[in-house]
Homo-oligomer: A and B are copies of this chain.
Amino acid sequence: MSEKKIYKPKPVSGFPEWLPQIRRIEQHWFDHIRSVFESYGYCSIETPSVEELDVLAAKGEVDKEIYVIERLHKEDDDKEARLALHFDQTVPLARYVAQRFNDLDFPFKRYQMQRVWRGERPQAGRFREFYQCDIDVIAVDNLPLHFDAEVPSIMIEILQGLDVGAFQMQLSNRKILMGFLAGLGITDSVDVLRAIDKKDKIGGDDGVRKLLHSTTSLNDQQIEKIIGFTHIKTPDSSFVEHVRTLGVAHETLEQGLNELAFVMNNLQHIDAGLVVADLSIVRGLDYYTGTVYETRFLDDPNYGSICSGGRYEDLAGSYINKHLPGVGISIGFSRLFDYMRLKNKWNPVRKTPTDILVVLPSEDRRAHAAETARILRHRGFCVELYHADQKLAKQLGYAEKKGIPYVWFPPFDDGGAHEVKDMTNGAQNKVDPMTWNAS
């Protein structure tokens, strides 16, 4: 062995990497997500990993934990724009739509599944590099409300297919909460929203009562109405009647109730329990203007939302003089994937796409064995030809170790027969490579 110096690489914290058997599952997740997105007619886009720092600055978002990139051997006369890795797919979408406005068809329905980067302090469940899976629909001037029901339907179908366990999507509408508070005569809502948002952490209703007493000048009656409001949770549009009984009226509230009722009515085909109108959710205060979505595990609600989004009034106003409302929803893919990996302790037996290992009988039968492998590959199977002239036991051991389900024995001499061994039950049979199928 060489005597040269060896540098032992350290794991880079916050940048996930999987063994092939886990990567296989990850790829199946991506395939599933993509196929559902496409089944609703959403098109794929990808954007560069970087944006000009000025593009981020125009949206006022340079305070986030942004990574800038720089050439290691930068020349002094380098006058190029500063570039930063994107930290989400929303700013890139806004820039894309603004820049390519005349080449796109609206409503523009796109999905995007890329890595994003955030320089957060590494901690459990937080990555610095991770995949996000987003869909958004962008329209010019007016975006039909039925899209507010379509995007959560898509994500629910995806989550059901990923088998992530019991979950529930909560829907609300920013106009309901804001209109309700306005109807109560509350003009400065910041402290109230904060109290509602913290409800679970500060001891439920009593905590909210205390906090509102200490941070606002609201009277008991107002506070009790707010608390009553945060309890409204219905599987359909009946939340409207519950709000009515609180006796608060406001134009914005009315508008929000109508919108959310329409959305809930358009989600009635979804299995019971998966969606709920939940008026207590407070999300994306400075961004969302209508419907909002959050999604929680029923057995671990404190894990936080695994799929979130909402409607916004103005996607790309920082980059183009057009009014582009949109609605979008996003899965924090890597976070969810890693959670399920740790929770389910996946121990996949199959480390390879290979369906069939073709045995190499001997070096002088290589051409025949390779031809068998090609025939099976042409028929759509994933096929390896064993790589060396070794004992059969060793070849079978290789298949077993990698979880290859079938071992194929091509004829060991001219005129011999093909046989295949099913590794799950050990059964071995004579077969024809042109017609055989996996059982």
Q: Are the C-beta atoms of B105 and A351 separated by less than 8 Å?
A: yes
Q: Are the C-beta atoms of B71 and A70 separated by less than 8 Å?
A: no
- Docked CA distance A377–B305 (Å): 28
User: A10 is contacted by which of B12, B81, B384 (Cβ under 8 Å)?
Assistant: B81
Q: Are the C-beta atoms of A50 and B15 separated by less than 8 Å?
A: yes
Question: Which chain B residues lie closer than 8 Å to A45 at the CB level?
Answer: 18, 20, 23
Stretch of A292-300, A313-321, A418-426 that contacts chain B: A313-321
- Docked CA distance A45–B16 (Å): 12
User: A17 is contacted by which of B16, B48, B401 (Cβ under 8 Å)?
Assistant: B48
- Docked CA distance A69–B129 (Å): 12
- Docked CA distance A384–B95 (Å): 26
Q: Does A405 contact B (CB under 8 A)?
A: no
- Docked CA distance A48–B11 (Å): 11
Q: Does A222 contact B (CB under 8 A)?
A: no
Stretch of A58-66, A185-193, A238-246, A276-284 that contacts chain B: A58-66
- Docked CA distance A223–B81 (Å): 51
Q: Are the C-beta atoms of B387 and A107 separated by less than 8 Å?
A: yes
Q: Does A99 contact B (CB under 8 A)?
A: yes
Minimum Cβ distance to chain B for residue A31 (Å):
10
Question: Which chain B residues lie closer than 8 Å to A381 at the CB level?
Answer: 39
- Docked CA distance A41–B12 (Å): 29
Question: Which chain B residues lie closer than 8 Å to A68 at the CB level?
Answer: 69-72
Question: Which chain B residues lie closer than 8 Å to A23 at the CB level?
Answer: 43-46
Q: Does A24 contact B (CB under 8 A)?
A: yes
Q: Does A79 contact B (CB under 8 A)?
A: no
Stretch of A1-9, A174-182, A226-234, A336-344 that contacts chain B: A1-9
Q: State the oligomeric state as a number of copies.
A: 2
Interface size on A, residues (CB 8 A): 107
- Docked CA distance A105–B322 (Å): 55
- Docked CA distance A69–B374 (Å): 45
- Given A1-B321, A321-B1: A9 and B99 interface contact (C-beta under 8 Å): yes
Minimum Cβ distance to chain B for residue A41 (Å):
4
Minimum Cβ distance to chain B for residue A239 (Å):
20
27 A-B contact pairs sorted by A residue (CB < 8 Å): A6-B58, A6-B318, A6-B320, A6-B321, A8-B319, A9-B98, A9-B99, A9-B319, A10-B52, A12-B48, A15-B48, A18-B46, A24-B44, A27-B44, A38-B382, A39-B353, A39-B377, A40-B377, A41-B352, A41-B404, A43-B351, A63-B73, A68-B70, A68-B71, A69-B70, A71-B119, A146-B385
